[in-house]
Amino acid sequence: MKKLLLIASALLLTTSVYAQTATSSSEKLENLKDRLASAATQLRQSQKRAIFGTVKVTSVSTITVATKTSDMKIELMDTISVFQMIKGKRTTLTTDQVTKGDTVVVFGDYDTNLDILKAQMIFIQGSIPERLSGTITETSKKDYTITLSTPGEQSYIVDFETMTKNFSFTRDKGVKKAGFSQLIVGDTVHVLETPEPKIANRVSAIRILDIGNLTGATPTSTATPTAKPTVKPTSTPAG
């Protein structure tokens, strides 16, 4: 009987102690949860963010930037700084010099509650060079051009300029400097380029990375469309 009573009392004691411990640890957990939620809310309310777009509307204290998805209102803070690369030099500007149509990147604190970006820095972005990749179908040592066929079956003529930097990649040697003569038909190349104004499908190369012939196949050169004189049918006199 004594033993039984001892076991019963031990059980009772253990249960109560466990309940007490569980209560205190759950309280701690709840407290921690609350603190975490509060910190997360604060972070969500104000977070560092950058947006890219075109200036749509400007005013003294705000600007509206049209991004790829939506228009965003930007609050211009007192401590804001504006920069632009002019002739290769990073130049400091004022907010008055940010005009409609400028392509900008705005850095600042984004307020989710007000859906507003409090701008700390505006960078007026110049034209960004484009990227082109494909297989070389033709090279011209006379004109210093290569013809590229993209995965989308489009053909581009790439001008190899005097300032063009050319690199080749091999599995054993890595990336090394290379010359125009090392660009061979069948090689896959990645080109950093600027499009030639007025001439469709013609670009000027800034940098070329040749990663070699990956398939082992040599593509046949695709004929580039040339303007042919049209022959008008002449009416032959009957008789």
Partner 1 sequence: MNKDAILATLIGFGIGLLITGLLLVGPNITKSLPKIKLPTTASTTTPTPTPSQFTVTIESPLAEAIENSTDVLVSGVTSPGSTVVIAGSVDDTAVVAQADGKYAGKVTLTEGKNDIIVTSYQQTKQASQTVTVYYTPESL
- Residue 141 CB, nearest approach to partner 1 (Å): 25
Residue 171 interacting with partner 1 (CB under 8 A)? yes
The stretch among 102-110, 156-164, 196-204, 218-226 that binds partner 1 (CB under 8 A) is: 102-110
Residue 83 interacting with partner 1 (CB under 8 A)? yes
- Residue 237 CB, nearest approach to partner 1 (Å): 60
What is the chain written as a DSSP string? -HHHHHHHHHHHHHHHHHHHHHHHHHHHHHHHHHHHHHHHHHHHHEEEEEEEEEEEEE-SSEEEEE-SS-EEEEEEEEEEEEEEEETTEEEEE-GGG--TT-EEEEEEEEETTTTEEEEEEEEE--PPPEEEEEEEEEEETTTTEEEEE-TTS-EEEEE--TT-EEEEEETTTEEEE--GGG--TT-EEEEEEEEPTTSTTEEEEEEEEE---SS---PPPPPPP---PPPPPPPPPP-
Pick from 36, 50, 57, 86: which binds partner 1 (CB under 8 A)? Answer: 50
* Residues in touch with partner 1 (CB under 8 A): 4, 7-8, 11, 48-50, 52, 81, 83, 85, 90, 105, 107-108, 120-121, 123, 125, 128-129, 131, 133, 151, 169, 171, 174-175, 188, 190, 192, 207, 209, 211, 214-215
